[in-house]
Amino acid sequence: MTTYPRLAQVVLDSTDCRRLAEFYRGLLGLAYRPGDEPPPEGQPDPRGEDWLVLRGDGGLELAFQQEPELRPTTWPSHEVPMQAHLDTVVGTVEELAEVHGRALSLGARELMDRTDDPDEPLWVLADPDGHPFCVMVG
C-alpha cells in the first residue's frame, strides 16, 4: 500500500505575521488556532513575531512565518515571478464586488481587473506583503 502525505496547511512568509494574519482573518473569515490570538493591546506578541495559524471550515489552515525581508512579485512582469498564489471563489458578481471592496479596505492592492470576462470574472489582488491572490466567480 502506498502512503500519501496529507496537505496540512499553506504557509505565507511575512515581514509582519500578525498584520498578514489579520488581513486574511478579515478577508476569509478564518479563526486563530487556540493560543495564536492577538494579545491584549500593549502586551508583547511573541507568536506574532514568529509563526501564526488561522483555521477555517473543512480543515483549511493558513499559516504565517516571519521573515526579515521579502521581495514581492512584480507580476505580471516576470522580473520577480509569482511562484504561488491563492485562488478564492465567490458565487456571484455582486459577491465579487463585495469581497474586492473588503480586500482593498484591509490593505490589498489591485494587480488585474478581469471582471468583464463573461466566463470567469475575477480580480487579481496582492495582500499587504505582496502575495497575489485571485477572487473569482465560480
pLDDT string in tens for the chain (138-residue length):
887 767 789 999 999 999 999 999 999 999 999 999 999 999 999 999 999 999 998 888 999 999 999 988 898 899 998 888 999 999 999 999 999 999 999 999 999 999 999 999 999 999 999 999 999 998
Strand partners, 12: 64
All domains of the chain in start order, with CATH: 10-66 (3.10.180.10), 86-137 (3.10.180.10)
Total-model pTM: 0.89
Cell triple for 62: 493558513
**What is each CA distance from 124 to 19, 70, 79, 87, in whole angstroms?**
20, 20, 18, 9
b/e map 65-89, b = 16+ CB within 10 Å: ebeeeeeebebeeeeeebeeebebe
134: Cα separation from own chain's centroid? 10
Strands 31-32 and 10-14: unpaired
With 0-12 / 13-18 / 19 or more C-beta atoms within 10 angstroms meaning exposed / middle / buried, residue 61 is: middle
Question: Which pLDDT score is estimated for 86?
Answer: 93
